[in-house]
Amino acid sequence: MKKLLVFVFAVVLLGSCSKNTEGCTDPNAINYNPDAVEDSGNCLFTLVGTWEGVSWIPNGNNIIQNYNGFTLHCYSDSTWNSHTLPNWNGNNYADYRGTYFINNNHTECTFTTTHFNLNNGNGWLDYGPATPINHFSMELTHSSYSGNLISSTDTTLNSFDFSFVRVE
């Protein structure tokens, strides 16, 4: 009888110790937990990659239709560049580059534009002292990236929304 009680106690004790591990269950996330059984909703994704513009809405005006192409490249050293083919620039590319920062929760990002090139023969130009710094709230998944302006050093921006889809 004593052995039976010890056996039952051991089964109950071991059975009560089994617990579903919570964590990020998305294998595309940077904090993916292969042991997680239950998704905790805290998956974090990288901005590193190539993104294609879906909407670009400064001051309530979606100007994405003014571009034949709008691609954003984000690199692991926190630099970015964009290649745009605007309809208004004589079909020349307008390229911009700078730096970005993402907070630890991946809910906010700051983009600083440091240089631009309108491909008009002048090459890359320093933005100078009026360097735009835009701070956004953001939603980032493996396949999409969108945001809303929180603040900007560009006094002409009252609002700014955007969305991109990952292309690589």
User: pLDDT at residue 88 above 90?
Assistant: no
In a domain? residue 102: yes
In a domain? residue 32: no
In a domain? residue 19: no
Report residue 60 as tokens: 């309530």
Summarize pLDDT for 3-59 with one digit per residue, the tens. 544 454 444 444 545 567 889 999 999 999 999 989 888 999 999 999 999 999 999
How far is the CA of 136 from the CAs of 15, 55, 99, 133, 144, in angstroms? Answer: 47, 15, 14, 10, 15
Least confident of 13-17, 106-110, 113-117: 13-17
Domain with 150 in it: what CATH number? 2.40.128.20
Structural domain harbouring 135: 49-166
In a domain? residue 42: no
In a domain? residue 127: yes
* One-letter amino acid of 61: N
Q: Is 150 exposed, middle or buried (0-12, 13-18, 19+ CB in 10 A)?
A: middle
Q: What residues are paired with 50 via a beta bridge? A: 73
Kindly report whether the global pTM for this prediction surpasses the value 0.95.
no
Please state the domain count of the chain.
1
User: pLDDT at residue 124 above 60?
Assistant: yes
pLDDT of residue 109: 97
Q: Which of 74, 50, 52 is nearest to 64 (CA)?
A: 52
